[in-house]
Amino acid sequence: MKKPVKNAEIGPLTHKEILVVLSGLMTGLLLAALDQTIVSTALKSIVEEFDGLNHYTWVVTAYLLTSTASTPLYGKISDLYGRRPVFQFAIITFLIGSLLAGASQNMTQLIFTRALQGLGAGGLMALTFVIIGDIVSPRERGKYVGYFGAVWGLASVAGPLLGGFFSDKEAIFGISGWRWIFYINLPFGILALIITSAVLHIPKVKREHKVDYFGALILVLAVCSLLMSASVYGPENGWTDNRTITTMILGTALTLLFIWQERRAVEPILPMRLFKNHTFSLTSLIGFIIGAGMFGAIVMLPLYLQIVKGNSATEAGLKLIPLMMGIVSMSIFSGKRISLTGKYRIFPIVGTAMMTLGLILMATLSEDTSFLSLSIYAILLGGGLGLSMQTILIALQNDVEFKDMGIVTSSNTFFRSLGGAFGTAIFGTIFSNRIAHYLQENLTKLQESDPQAMAGFNPLDVEVITVNTSIISTLPLALQEVVLGSFAQTFRIVFLAAVPITFIGFILTFFLREKPLKSGADHSAARAEANGEAVG
């Protein structure tokens, strides 16, 4: 017989109270999202100080590995131990990682501290949406979740912009400029900690549990192996390299072992029964595809602006504002419409269609494309993301039992991050292979048509150009035109390669089933039932 739960139930929060909670959650999410992009424009300054060019990719990869692998673990652990303590643990871990990363004295220290940062970021990204799922009913959630889409949009622009700003400064208050990309996190993280301590009063529900530590270990090892293969060894050494194949096989084997373990575990980290839920399986797949198309394309856009258009890191960041405008406006618009009408299925359909169209238009970029045209393409791409990304999360949270809120929400974030990692790796490989091909092909044509233009150019410089684009400006004008044309060709191929991926996502959205969104009363009843089961 179930016993009453003392102080386990709380009444619905007012709009003002929700906004206060949101401020803390959005600050935490912004920190995690920023650190995915802010480092990219500062890497040049970092590797010059540490002489660590041969290990620079690990600064990004270490963060990606730990943040992705830990995401589903946070959801499950918060289901067992409560949201607030686990969320605050993630903030503290992130802050410690940021402090130590800023104080790093060599590349090894920086790589390890970035991994620690990622461990905290995984919790910030996952638990933000879990907590919103706890305190706001699905019917009202749209108008609040839209603001988090705006956070992602802001981070996609502010990250490269701030990274460029700080790395361009030799020193700020006597400290190397690039170190401030980590130190800037400290006041905001402390603010998020204070706000969540003061206002995030979600009752801790004690559940009988037995944590599947073995399953957690297998999951982390499987994700790390697959990401190492896709993000490091594949792009660096080739997809037929022994290390690439070995880590891919190991990751696949560990994934199968994880599935076997979860089927027999008393308290699985990722219950296999969830995949019997149509909405969970479908939104996981759509999330993976959106992540692959989104991250793969967005990473390439600043690169196009800096290489082909000759913009600085700061200018490239500013020119991403149309992308942010698309994400922000459509996130807020779709959220408010969902809360008003209770209908959500149309938005991911239209959103993935807009993403696909935006990428098709991006595939027409050249050396002469105007900023107005680029802005229109970017708004379409960003608008598609804004309509899709948060809407599938609302559909998912509406269709699962309240007791599974933590794990299903963090799993959605996990699959999107995993898609982003694979998308970035695949598009990066396409870029590396195609640029070498087009440079060789177009320079050969120039040699045949105008041998004088190639005078003094060493064919070995082709390889140098692919890793150090700063020398392009030192080339003769005729050579510059050919090289920039080759890069433009390559970017067109990369964007075109993303089109079929987002198109598959578009097709899948038609299979999404629209169900009535739970109202505040239904949501409170579901929460009370879950809490009762927890202690019954």
Among residues 222, 206, 232, the alpha carbon closest in space to that of 270 is found at: 222
The whole-number pLDDT of residue 217 equals: 85
Residue 233 DSSP one-character state? I
Residue 256: predicted pLDDT: 93
More confident residue, 253 or 57: 253
CATH of 15-211+267-438+488-535, one of 1.10.10.10, 1.20.1250.20, 1.20.210.10, 3.90.245.10: 1.20.1250.20
Q: Output the six-digit token pair for 449.
A: 């048509």
Token code pair at residue 479: 């050579």
Residue written as token pair 């779709």: 334
pLDDT for residue 477 is more than 60: yes
- pLDDT value at position 506? 94
Q: Residue 31's pLDDT is what?
A: 79
pLDDT recorded at residue 359: 92
Q: Please, which residues have CB within 8 angstroms of residue 246's CB and are 6 or more apart in sequence?
A: none
- The predicted pLDDT at position 503 comes to 93
CA distance 355 to 43: 29
**Average predicted confidence (pLDDT) for the chain:** 78
DSSP for 301-367, please give it. HHHHHHHTS---HHHHHHTTHHHHHHHHHHHHHHHHHHHHH---THHHHHHHHHHHHHHHHHTT--T
Contact (Cβ atoms closer than 8 angstroms) between residue 125 and residue 29: yes
List, for residues 423-443, the tens digit of each pLDDT value: 777 787 788 778 888 888 887
Q: What is the rounded distance in angstroms from the CA atom of residue 72 to the CA atom of residue 67?
A: 10
pLDDT at 264 over 90: no
Predicted confidence at residue 457, as pLDDT, reads 62
**pLDDT for the residue numbered 456:** 61
Q: For 488-515, give the DSSP string.
A: HHHHHHHHHHHHHHHHHHHHHHTTPPP-
pLDDT single digits (tens) 322-361: 888 888 888 888 888 887 888 888 999 999 999 999 999 9
Q: Measured between alpha carbons, how far is 38 from 183 in angstroms, rounded to an integer?
A: 12
Nearest residue to 434 (alpha-carbon basis) of 395, 380, 491, 482? 491
For the entire predicted model, the pTM comes to 0.77
Bridge partners of 176?
Answer: 171
* More reliable by pLDDT, 398 or 509: 509
Half-sphere exposure of residue 161: CA atoms within 13 angstroms, side-chain side: 13
Position of tokens 């929400």? 409
The SS3 call for residue 172 is: strand
Q: What is the pLDDT of residue 533?
A: 47
Label the pairing between strands 171-172 and 175-176.
antiparallel
Range picked from 111-115, 203-207, 296-300, 418-422 for highest mean pLDDT? 111-115
3-class DSSP state of 10: coil
For 271-289, b/e burial (b = at least 16 CB within 10 A) is beebeebebbebbbbbbbb
Domain residue spans of the chain:
15-211+267-438+488-535, 212-266
pLDDT of residue 413: 79
347 burial (CB, 10 Å; 0-12 / 13-18 / 19+) is: buried
In a 3-state reduction of DSSP, which class is residue 130? helix
* Residues 534 and 6: beta-carbon distance below 8 Å: no
- Judge whether 326 and 389 are in contact, CB under 8 Å: no
Q: Read off the pLDDT band of 6 (50, 70, 90).
A: very low
The per-residue pLDDT for 107 is: 78
Which of 3-17, 21-35, 141-155 shows the lowest per-residue confidence on average (mean pLDDT)? 3-17
Q: For 390-429, b where at least 16 C-beta lie within 10 A, e where not — what string?
A: bbbbbbbbbbbebbbbbbbbbbbbbbbbbbbbbbbbbbbb
Contact 124, 69 (CB under 8 A): no
H-run or E-run covering 175: strand 175-176
> For the stretch 207-224, what's the b/e string if a residue is b when 16 or more beta carbons lie within 10 angstroms of its beta carbon?
beeebbeebbebbbbbbb
pLDDT of residue 466: 66
